[in-house]
């Protein structure tokens, strides 16, 4: 890769030949579309042609509208193929952990009825499980609706994360979203230690899910006065 390769984070290679072929193909298709639209337009405005009164009007209009919509969608899609590129990444060029900058992850929600709290908490836990130095990663959850279930859910998410994060890092778990991980079929493994850890984490996950969803249902039934415009301000921090 040369002396400069270690300093590169990624390399972008443009496929000029494929780009030329795709643009030529697009041009030929565009000419064909113009011919079709000319034919359709000529038919509509040529009342002297005997065929004008022989063809049913509604099917002709329907077909013309379908062609127009399909052509519009094709025009929107085709430019993505004009400049095909291939990217190569160099993870080994990333700076060491002490040199990485701090990052902030913001998760926003507003209405627990439209955005179920358990799904929001899965997003928060996933952000906390990112492969990044823990001391340089901050995750913020903003609830514009000020729902008490969000605060309670955050406490539960923090408690579950103390189990989930070590499990992810120890066994290099993918995906790092607990909901996605436990909803897919269990992977086969002969490592009894991993199986025991996974079963333990799954029990913690099910308990976490039940507590959050129980509180969420209660919140929707009872806390009807709280809204995005009428709620107390609450700020609370957690550290793992």
Given 88, 118, 135, the domain boundary residue is: 88
Question: In this structure, is residue 227 part of a structural domain?
Answer: no
pLDDT greater than 70 at residue 227:
no
In sequence order, the β-bridge partners of residue 110 are: none
pLDDT greater than 80 at residue 175:
yes
**Do 112 and 210 fall into the same domain?**
yes
Q: How far is CA 178 from the centre of its chain?
A: 16
Predicted confidence at residue 27, as pLDDT, reads 95
- 114 known ligand binder: yes
**Do 102 and 214 fall into the same domain?**
yes
Between 147 and 205, the higher pLDDT residue: 205
* 5 contacts: CB under 8 Å, gap ≥ 6: 90, 93
Predicted confidence at residue 187, as pLDDT, reads 78
Question: In this structure, is residue 238 part of a structural domain?
Answer: no
**Do 84 and 115 fall into the same domain?**
no
Token couple for 78: 């085709």
Between 150 and 57, the higher pLDDT residue: 150
Instruction: Specify the number of domains making up the chain.
Output: 2
Question: In this structure, is residue 16 part of a structural domain?
Answer: yes
**Do 193 and 212 fall into the same domain?**
yes
76-132 pLDDT, tens per residue? Answer: 999 889 999 999 988 888 888 888 899 999 999 988 888 999 999 999 999 999 999
Question: In this structure, is residue 160 part of a structural domain?
Answer: yes
Question: In this structure, is residue 236 part of a structural domain?
Answer: no
Token couple for 179: 């909901």
Are the beta carbons of 139 and 236 closer than 8 angstroms? no
**Do 46 and 156 fall into the same domain?**
no
Burial annotation 120-141 (CB, 10 A radius, 16+ → b, else e): bbbbbbbbbbeeeeeeebebeb
40-85 pLDDT, tens per residue? Answer: 877 777 667 666 666 677 888 888 899 999 999 999 999 889 999 9
Q: Strand runs (DSSP E) across 110-228, as ranges? A: 137-143
Q: Are strands 85-89 and 10-14 parallel, antiparallel or unpaired?
A: antiparallel
Q: What is the DSSP letter of 102?
A: P
Are the beta carbons of 209 and 118 closer than 8 angstroms? yes
**Do 216 and 115 fall into the same domain?**
yes
199-212 pLDDT, tens per residue? Answer: 999 999 999 999 99
**Do 169 and 115 fall into the same domain?**
yes
Given 88, 108, 128, the domain boundary residue is: 88
Given 68, 88, 108, the domain boundary residue is: 88
Give the span between the Cα atoms of 73 and 82, in whole angstroms.
Answer: 16
Model pTM score: 0.64
Question: In this structure, is residue 231 part of a structural domain?
Answer: no
Q: What residues make up the domain containing 111?
A: 97-222
CB burial class (10 A; 0-12, 13-18, 19+) of residue 60? middle
Between 95 and 178, the higher pLDDT residue: 178
Please name which of 108, 109, 212 lies closest in space to residue 158, comparing C-alpha atoms. Answer: 212
**Do 84 and 101 fall into the same domain?**
no
Question: In this structure, is residue 2 part of a structural domain?
Answer: no
Please name which of 29, 16, 11, 4 lies closest in space to residue 86, comparing C-alpha atoms. Answer: 11
Predicted confidence at residue 31, as pLDDT, reads 95
**Do 42 and 108 fall into the same domain?**
no
Q: 63-77, 119-133, 158-172, 220-234: which has the minimum mean pLDDT?
A: 220-234
Question: In this structure, is residue 22 part of a structural domain?
Answer: yes
Predicted confidence at residue 33, as pLDDT, reads 93
**Do 102 and 216 fall into the same domain?**
yes
**Do 84 and 124 fall into the same domain?**
no
Please name which of 132, 110, 141, 90 lies closest in space to residue 229, comparing C-alpha atoms. Answer: 110
**Do 105 and 213 fall into the same domain?**
yes
């Amino acid at each position: 890769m040369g002396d400069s390769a270690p300093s590169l984070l990624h390399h972008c290679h443009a496929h000029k030949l494929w780009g030329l072929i795709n643009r030529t193909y697009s041009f030929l298709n565009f000419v064909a579309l113009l011919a079709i639209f000319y034919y359709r337009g000529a038919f509509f405005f040529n009342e002297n042609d005997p065929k004008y009164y022989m063809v049913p009007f509604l099917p002709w209009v329907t077909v013309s509208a379908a062609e127009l919509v399909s052509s519009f969608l094709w025009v929107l899609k085709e430019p993505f193929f004009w400049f095909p590129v291939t990217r190569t990444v160099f993870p080994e060029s990333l700076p060491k952990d002490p040199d990485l900058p701090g990052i902030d992850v913001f998760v926003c929600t507003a209405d627990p009825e439209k955005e179920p709290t358990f799904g929001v908490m899965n997003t928060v836990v996933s952000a906390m499980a990112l492969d990044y130095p823990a001391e340089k990663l901050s995750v913020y959850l903003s609830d514009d609706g000020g729902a008490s279930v969000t605060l309670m859910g955050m406490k539960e998410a923090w408690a579950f994360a103390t189990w989930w994060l070590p499990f992810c890092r120890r066994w290099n778990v993918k995906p790092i979203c607990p909901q996605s991980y436990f909803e897919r079929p269990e992977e086969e493994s002969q490592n009894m230690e991993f199986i025991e850890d996974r079963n333990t984490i799954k029990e913690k996950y099910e308990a976490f899910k039940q507590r959050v969803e129980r509180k969420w249902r209660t919140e929707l039934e009872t806390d009807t006065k709280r809204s995005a415009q009428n709620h107390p301000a609450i700020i609370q921090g957690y550290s793992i």
